[in-house]
Amino acid sequence: MKVLVTGAGGHLGGAVLARLRDDGVGVRAASRRLRDGSDVEWVVTDLATGDGVVEAVTGVDAVLHLASSPRGGHTHQVDVLGTRRLVVAAGAAGVGHIVYISIVGVDRVPIPYYRHKLAAEQVIAAGPVPWSVLRATQFPQFLDDLLASSARLGPVIGDRAVLAQPVDPDEVAARLAARLVAGPLGGIEEYGGPQVLRFDEAARAWLTARGSRRPLLPVRIPGRLGRELRAGGLVTEALPRGVRTWADHLADTYGGTGRR
């Protein structure tokens, strides 16, 4: 089997490439700029313009579609229109399966980026290529960065009742590889980390791991967004789940367990 991986230069892309190589899968890795790799065939592909898309899908059996543009004002061009270009080209090339990585909560949480991800799911489902969608919860690196940003002014600021479920990207990569082997689902699968944490729990563990005595300043997120986040819009009860915890991430990153 030969697989095209879009967005291969990202954090999840790196984990996916390593997993597929370990599984003995032939890989063609797509990125917006040329990269080197003796064990991977790198190609330049720009979903925003369509450059290189036809060439990238030619001769592959499946596509793992990881590419996304959450920032910079190009989200619709890349995530929705770019996904449509990819699906059309893959259909014409006879690709047998496309697996799309999405996010738990795109159908519930009113964030503009999520609306684009949901629209991309709909493009995949309506396209000519047999498909699967894997919605994952947030990576611990994202939560780590969010906490660092919220603490820029001193105290850690956030809605303490917001629920999160960090999942390790290596485990998401393994789940994507398994979905690839299992064949087209024709539906949506959700995958989350082993623990559902309140924001204040995650923040206190983060502060402990960093040896920080900064206070936690609770600020309630207003409106529908806050209600959905507090009600669990970003978490899932789906099984199986990952096994690496928030404390594991903190120990790897800061040398502390995050436990008191």
pLDDT digits (tens, 9 = 90+) for 15-60: 999 999 999 999 999 999 888 766 789 999 999 999 999 999 999 9
Q: What does the pLDDT read at residue 257?
A: 56
Q: Is the pLDDT of residue 80 over 70?
A: yes
Joined together, the tokens standing for residue 178 give: 């398994």
Distance CA 256, CA 202 (A): 13
CA angle, 6 then 82 then 57, to 5°: 45
The full set of domain ranges for the chain reads: 2-137+169-191
How many other CB atoms are found less than 10 A from the CB of residue 84? 18
End-to-end CA distance of the chain: 48
* Cβ pair 64, 3 in contact under 8 A: yes
- The hierarchical CATH code for the domain 2-137+169-191 is 3.40.50.720
Distance CA 54, CA 93 (A): 8
Q: What does the pLDDT read at residue 8?
A: 96
Q: Is the pLDDT of residue 206 over 50?
A: yes
Mean pLDDT confidence for 62-82? 95
pLDDT tens digit sequence for 226-241: 999 999 999 999 999 9
User: Tell me, what amino acid is at 38?
Assistant: S
Distance CA 255, CA 240 (A): 28
Joined together, the tokens standing for residue 47 give: 């979903």
Distance CA 252, CA 117 (A): 30
Mean pLDDT confidence for 3-19? 96
Mean pLDDT confidence for 64-77? 93
Closest residue by Cα to residue 28 from 51, 61, 50: 61
Closest residue by Cα to residue 103 from 237, 2, 233, 251: 233
Q: Is the pLDDT of residue 135 over 60?
A: yes
* Cβ pair 260, 208 in contact under 8 A: yes
Distance CA 175, CA 165 (A): 16
pLDDT band (50, 70, 90) for residue 200 = very high
Q: Percentage of the chain with pLDDT > 90?
A: 93
Question: What is the reported pTM?
Answer: 0.95
Look at the chain and count its residues.
260
Distance CA 207, CA 126 (A): 45
Q: What does the pLDDT read at residue 258?
A: 52
User: Tell me, what amino acid is at 76?
Assistant: H
Residue 69 or 260, more confident: 69
Q: What does the pLDDT read at residue 230?
A: 98
CA angle, 246 then 75 then 99, to 5°: 65
pLDDT band (50, 70, 90) for residue 260 = very low
pLDDT tens digit sequence for 238-255: 999 999 999 999 999 998
